[in-house]
Structure 1
Amino acid sequence: MNLSSANSKTSAQRIVGFSREKNALSHWLAAPDAGSQIFSVTGIGGIGKTTLLTEMNAEARRSSTLTIWMDGQLCLQTPGAFLSYLEMSLEMEYGLTRAADETMLTYAVRELTRQKTVLIIDNSEHVDCIESWLLASLLPRLADAECLFILASRSGLPVKWHSHPFWSRRIHSYPLELFSREEIYEYLQDSGLSPALQLDIVHKTEGHPLLLALTLDMLLRQEPERQEREYQLPGILSTEMLKEVASPFMYEALQLLSLLPAADQTILNQLLASPLSASDYAELSRLSCVRTGLNGLCLHQLVSRMLREDFQRRDPGQYHRMRSRTLELLTERFPASNKLQQMQIAAHVLELYREQLPVAGTYTDFTAVRSLERQRGYEPGDLPYLHRFLEASLAQSDWQSELIADGEHHPLLDDIAAHDPDSIVVLCDSSGIPLGFSAGLRLHALTLSLLDRYAPSHRHLLGELAGPQYTLPAEAADTLFILLAAVDIEQPYYRPDELGAMLLQSWLVYTSGGLRTIVATADNQLNLLLPHLGFQEQIQSRLEPNVPAKLTVWDLDFRQVTFEVWVQRVFQLAVQAPEADLPQEPQPQDWKDVKQIVQHLYSDALLEEMPFVQRLGLTGGSVRRQVQHILMDKQPPYPLTELEQSILRECYLQKNYRKSQLADAFHMSRTTFYRHSRLALIHLGHVLTRVLRDTDLHGNR
């Protein structure tokens, strides 16, 4: 993808990515007997197909290879149009002419076989119009030549090409993907934009090259003082997609597809007002943003998210109704699905309903999870990375350090890798380099000695929860006790909370395949979040002797709980009024009372006029000091979370951002930010009521 700008700092063009494709071309150009081959470059609109072809064209010309660029929109309608376009290009670019008595096909074959040739065809979506002629008349005459066809299209070559007995073996497919985090930052590194704004661009564009280029160009054309203000992404994706979607039924089908991990024609027709015919379904499958898999059609991840957001904005009522119907469909299909499909369904449901999870937003922000970042099993080469992540985590006293005996974390990781490597889940980037991990021990007879050594209080902590597990043989183990987790805080491309969200998602997806997961933590955000994700608190562990203080044990048992029961449990909790999950204690009449207090925090006289303050008989100064202490305290009192404390502190104490900027500052949509703000006021109300009543009772004004 090109980077060019009016800004002098970025006046030079830079190409990011495409190393795989350019290396393939270099290898073909350098090979002494390369033979005729076909490179098929595919991807959604704006992904960089034309940019890549431009680079390939330049490299081929630098090597003195005969190189022809053709526009598929003009040359793929008929065989005559193809040959005429080719003849014109040879004459204009190389001064070659056809003899009067020579047919165009004979002339084309002679010139393409005379020397090593690269034929680049952009916009080749309509190659099917002349594919029979190409495969029967032109290509057979080029089989023994050194001719490379590079075709770029959104959906790739038709099936007929891939099943051809000769040419199928000579086709090399290059599907283009979104930029990785490393490529995005490489693209932005000389832009002159602030680190905060670069991070914001990373999240908003998600690595879509054209969207990234247009956003950067738009910002660099603004004055520096205006760059930090709220900005809208160019509507390029919607525009590019609508070029392909010619009928209303197609757009409706895409909207529904955005709510599903994958769907075949039968599933779509259960949801659509007007069922798709077989030809409609085939047309849908040919769109560049749609991929065909074993379970039907699925949407490109970025397009899927943007379609959902557009659907929700335009018709929120219908969006929520259709989302509920798709959830019912997924829960019905879950029991009959294989383990991989079940994990895919679980991951999709978590993303689809993430916005309804009411607390600990950073831990449940799964939007950063893309196909480029993936979880996998442990490999021996991962161990040095995992030890490095663990060392940094221990230096910050993260949650896993509370249960394991001092100095035993690294030996424990070594023993887990040696004796129970299947319990380690590794999060890695697109190159397979680890970004984080979670590890534990499956409970069975052979792991008991390891637990006794490294977590000596585990028997008291788990009690009856795990007692029967200690006599099981290894092959029957179905309970995973999470003991360690850490992420790479030294790499510059991901925030630690993003990687934490990826790890949390991996726990839930991994567990949904029929395992039981046990987690012991003193992390306040996790202790608030886990019950909303269906975990059950083991109350008895708090009463056991020899158990580290403040540790809470949580249990999610997919051996007994079916997926549909778990979904019902999670999202019943999520849609309940937030107050229903809080302890029964005195509270302000309404969250709006609390909002009035923080809005007028620096006016003691106005505070004293508020009915809530008057009922307690407190001074305005006393209320102000208590609120300031709550919002500035290093450890926010329950049920106020650190995220909520930060939101309230920024809104009402520090005021570094305007109201319109706050949602972006916290990397949330405005709707999500409003929900978190209201919940923060509710939680502050509980804390404030408790503190002020205690103040009143003790006479400390």
Structure 2
Amino acid sequence: MNLSSANSKISAQRIVGFSREKNALFQWLAAPDAGSQIFSVTGIGGIGKTTLLTELNAGARRTSTRTLWMDGQICLQTPGAFLSCLEMSLEIEYGLTRATDETMLAYAVRELTRQRTVLIIDNCEHIDYLESWLLASLLPRLAEAECLLILASRRGLPTKWHSHPLWSKRIHSYPLELFSREEIYEYLQDSGLSPVLQVDIVQKTGGHPLLLALTLDMLLRQEPERQEREYQLPGILSAELLKEASSPFMYEALQLLSLLPAADQTILNQLLAHPLSASEYAELSRLSCVRTSMNGLCLHQLVSRMLREDYQRRDPGQYHRMRSRTLELLTGRFPASNTLQQMQIAAHVLELYREQLPVAGTYTDFSTVRTQERQRGYEPGDLPYLHRFLEASLARSDWQSELIAAGEHHALLEDIAAHDPGSIVVLCNSSGIPLGFSAGLRLHALTLPLLDRYAPAHRELLGELAGPLYSLPAEAADTLFILLAAVDTEQPYYQPEELGAMLLQSWLVYTSGGLRTIVATADNQLNLLLPLLGFQEQIQSRSKQVAPTGLIVWDLDFRQVTFEVWVQRVFQLAVQAPEAVLAEEPQSLDWKDVKQIVQHLYKDALLEEIPLVQRLGLAGEYVRQQVQHILTDKQPPYPLTELEQSLLRESYLQKNYRKSQLAEAFHMSRTTFYRHSRLAFIHLGYVLTRVLRDIDLHGDR
């Protein structure tokens, strides 16, 4: 991605990535008999296609290879436009002119076959206008030449190209992906921004090159003391998408797709105010951020998240109504879905309602979980990584050290890898390098002896549950006992809590397919969190005679509990009717106004000088009393959560700690702390909106 910075700390343009594509170009240039080939560069808007073409253009020119650049928006309208653009490019770049008695096509073929040539065409969205002419008239004449066509578009070449008997074998596809964490930090390394702000940028931009470039440029134009943490990004991506989604109904359909893991035309039309025709559905499927799956259309993950955030901010009432309807639809489809589809639905529901997950600050913030950091099964080459993660975890006395006999953790990992490798889930980066893992045993007659050896207290902890498992055949095993988990705390690109959230998400998704998951822990955070995520406590685990103090056994049994019941248990606040309450409310107060009120809460005179308070004609004392009541109420009013209430109370009412100390007290990074603080102000704004509406209705001030 290209970076032109106004800040003196970045003295030159910065290009990150593209090694795969540049290597492919250099191999073609170096081949003694390269032959004509096609490079198809694809990706969503702002992903860096034009930047890559610029790099390939410069690389080809450095080798003195004839290189031509054309704009598909102009040259792909008609054959005449294509040949005219090519003729103009040859004249401008190389001073070549066509003889008056030579046809344009003959001239183009002669020049493209006379010497090795790289022809770059950007913006090939409408190459289908010319594909018949290109495949029938021009390209056959180039088949024996040495001509490389580099074509960039959002969706890629039409099907006819990939099924062509000659050219299908010469097409090399290069879909551009979001920046990896390593590439993002490489991009930011000379920016001069603080490490805390860099982490915030990493999480907010999600690796989207355009968002990253615009965000960095915006921040570097500000004075260091004015660089704001609370910048807004979804609108940037929304504007980019609107260039493709030219009609309002199309953008409405994109918003709805952001709430669903996948949807066909029938499902979309059940929810859309403007049902899509067959041609409109086909048009939607051609957008760069949309792909077609077995279950319908899917939205690009980052685009989906950004659109949801934008949707929620612009129209919170409608957003919550539509989210509730999609949740009903997903839970209704769950029982009839296959295991893979069920796992996809579960993962999407966790993402859709992540801001309402309890104590989300530490283990359940799934906002940065991306497909690039994916989970997979265990591979033998992973074992050295897993041992290293485990050793570092044991040095910190993490939760898995409590049940396993002292000194036996590494031996247990070796035995799990040898006897039950399918119970190991490995979290890895985009290059396949492990970042963390969880491992356990699927309980049956062949694995229970391992528990006897490594976790001798398990019989008493599991109680009557353990007995029947000793005679259970391996093929009937449906209970997974999580025994080990660790993440890579030495790498610089991911925070431990991010990796922990990814592992927890993998547990929940994996379990939703009909398994029972058992976890034994004395970790206070997990013991608070697990029951709120639907885990049930095994009462016998409280016995001090059989287990270390504080060790509790939890299980989540999807063999007995249906997905719908679990959803209602975990997201009870979200599934019940508060959406209807929000829908009836006026627009919420701006969170910045709410923050200003809370910051001056104990200064009634200053409160009365705040423009919002003046517009409402309220006394400072009254505003203070209302906010104090909200933040000290035993049951915080929806949508303010207990965590958010506690966070605001500690920060602005009690003021016993500095912000950095508060972040540590809430087991959050400072970046996560600030993100939740802002969400707390937004939710407090909804509550104050209701309070002030009641004032207008009843005149009680």
TM-score of the pair, normalised by structure 1:
0.85
Cα pair distance change 1:252/1:246, threshold 3 Å:
same
Cα pair distance change 1:111/1:675, threshold 3 Å:
closer
1:284-322 superposed Cα distances (whole Å, 9 cap, x missing partner): 011111111222111111111111112112222221121
- Separation in 1, partners of 2:385, 2:490: 11
1:317-360 superposed Cα distances (whole Å, 9 cap, x missing partner): 22112111111221222222222211111100100011111224
Q: Is the 8 A contact 1:663 1:670 kept in 2?
A: no
Q: What corresponds to 1:506 in structure 2?
A: 506
Greater mean deviation of Cα atoms: 103-112 or 240-249: 240-249
- Residue 673 (str. 1) matches residue 680 (str. 2): yes
- Separation in 2, partners of 1:125, 1:640: 49
Cα pair distance change 1:665/1:322, threshold 3 Å:
closer
Letter in 1 for 2:361: G
- Separation in 1, partners of 2:683, 2:375: 29
Q: What corresponds to 1:547 in structure 2?
A: 547
Q: Is the 8 A contact 2:382 2:434 kept in 1?
A: yes
Q: What corresponds to 1:434 in structure 2?
A: 434
Q: What corresponds to 1:686 in structure 2?
A: none
Q: Is the 8 A contact 1:532 1:574 kept in 2?
A: no
- Separation in 2, partners of 1:257, 1:2: 30
What secondary structure, in the 3-state scheme, does the structure 1 residue paired with 2:414 have?
Answer: helix
Q: Is the 8 A contact 1:482 1:518 kept in 2?
A: yes
Cα pair distance change 1:273/1:574, threshold 3 Å:
closer
**Pairing of 1:148-163 with structure 2 (within 5 A):** 148-163=148-163
Cα pair distance change 1:576/1:664, threshold 3 Å:
farther
Q: Is the 8 A contact 2:234 2:309 kept in 1?
A: no
What secondary structure, in the 3-state scheme, does the structure 1 residue paired with 2:4 have?
Answer: coil
Letter in 2 for 1:31: A
Greater mean deviation of Cα atoms: 424-433 or 233-242: 233-242
Q: Which runs of 5+ in 2 are unaligned?
A: 579-596, 604-620, 622-631, 633-640, 663-668, 686-701
Q: What corresponds to 2:312 in structure 1?
A: 312
- Separation in 1, partners of 2:227, 2:234: 15
Cα pair distance change 1:552/1:253, threshold 3 Å:
same
Q: What corresponds to 1:653 in structure 2?
A: 656
Cα pair distance change 1:516/1:653, threshold 3 Å:
same
- Separation in 2, partners of 1:180, 1:23: 19
1:467-517 superposed Cα distances (whole Å, 9 cap, x missing partner): 212211112111100000000011111110000000000001111111110
Letter in 2 for 1:404: I
- Separation in 2, partners of 1:77, 1:458: 72
Q: What corresponds to 1:381 in structure 2?
A: 381
Q: 1:26 offset after TM fit, Å? A: 1.1
Cα pair distance change 1:645/1:274, threshold 3 Å:
closer
Q: 1:243 offset after TM fit, Å? A: 0.7
Cα pair distance change 1:437/1:648, threshold 3 Å:
farther
1:81-131 superposed Cα distances (whole Å, 9 cap, x missing partner): 000000011011111111111100011011101111111001111111111
**Pairing of 1:172-251 with structure 2 (within 5 A):** 172-228=172-228, 230-233=230-233, 235-251=235-251
- Separation in 1, partners of 2:458, 2:255: 49
Cα pair distance change 1:100/1:221, threshold 3 Å:
same
TM-score of the pair, normalised by structure 2:
0.85
Q: 1:649 offset after TM fit, Å? A: 4.8
- Separation in 1, partners of 2:297, 2:659: 46
Q: 1:419 offset after TM fit, Å? A: 0.9
Q: What corresponds to 1:5 in structure 2?
A: 5
Q: Is the 8 A contact 2:363 2:497 kept in 1?
A: yes
Q: 1:440 offset after TM fit, Å? A: 0.6
Letter in 1 for 2:412: L
Q: Is the 8 A contact 2:354 2:367 kept in 1?
A: no
Q: 1:246 offset after TM fit, Å? A: 1.2
Cα pair distance change 1:221/1:157, threshold 3 Å:
same
What secondary structure, in the 3-state scheme, does the structure 2 residue paired with 1:545 have?
Answer: coil
- Separation in 1, partners of 2:537, 2:602: 39
Q: What corresponds to 2:125 in structure 1?
A: 125
Q: What corresponds to 2:666 in structure 1?
A: none
- Separation in 2, partners of 1:647, 1:28: 60
Q: 1:669 offset after TM fit, Å? A: 5.4
- Separation in 2, partners of 1:56, 1:369: 32
Q: 1:677 offset after TM fit, Å? A: 8.8
Q: Is the 8 A contact 1:37 1:148 kept in 2?
A: yes
- Separation in 2, partners of 1:340, 1:270: 24
Greater mean deviation of Cα atoms: 388-397 or 563-572: 563-572
Q: What corresponds to 2:400 in structure 1?
A: 400
Q: Is the 8 A contact 1:44 1:154 kept in 2?
A: yes
Cα pair distance change 1:227/1:82, threshold 3 Å:
same
- Separation in 2, partners of 1:183, 1:310: 26
What secondary structure, in the 3-state scheme, does the structure 1 residue paired with 2:174 have?
Answer: strand
Cα pair distance change 1:543/1:350, threshold 3 Å:
same
Letter in 2 for 1:154: R
Q: Is the 8 A contact 1:41 1:176 kept in 2?
A: yes
Q: 1:572 offset after TM fit, Å? A: 1.7
Q: 1:379 offset after TM fit, Å? A: 0.5
- Separation in 1, partners of 2:574, 2:540: 26
- Separation in 2, partners of 1:490, 1:155: 38
What secondary structure, in the 3-state scheme, does the structure 2 residue paired with 1:335 have?
Answer: helix
Q: What corresponds to 2:28 in structure 1?
A: 28
**Pairing of 1:439-454 with structure 2 (within 5 A):** 439-454=439-454
- Separation in 1, partners of 2:460, 2:601: 48
- Separation in 1, partners of 2:234, 2:356: 28
- Separation in 2, partners of 1:41, 1:353: 35
Greater mean deviation of Cα atoms: 475-484 or 662-671: 662-671
Q: 1:34 offset after TM fit, Å? A: 1.5
1:370-410 superposed Cα distances (whole Å, 9 cap, x missing partner): 01000000011111111111111111111111111111111
Cα pair distance change 1:656/1:343, threshold 3 Å:
closer
Q: What corresponds to 2:352 in structure 1?
A: 352
Greater mean deviation of Cα atoms: 62-71 or 643-652: 643-652
Q: Is the 8 A contact 2:361 2:672 kept in 1?
A: no
Q: Is the 8 A contact 1:357 1:574 kept in 2?
A: no
Q: Is the 8 A contact 1:663 1:669 kept in 2?
A: no
Letter in 2 for 1:405: A
Q: What corresponds to 1:86 in structure 2?
A: 86
RMSD (Å), alpha carbons: 2.6
Cα pair distance change 1:245/1:52, threshold 3 Å:
same
Q: Is the 8 A contact 1:214 1:234 kept in 2?
A: no
1:254-291 superposed Cα distances (whole Å, 9 cap, x missing partner): 11100001111111111112221111011001111111
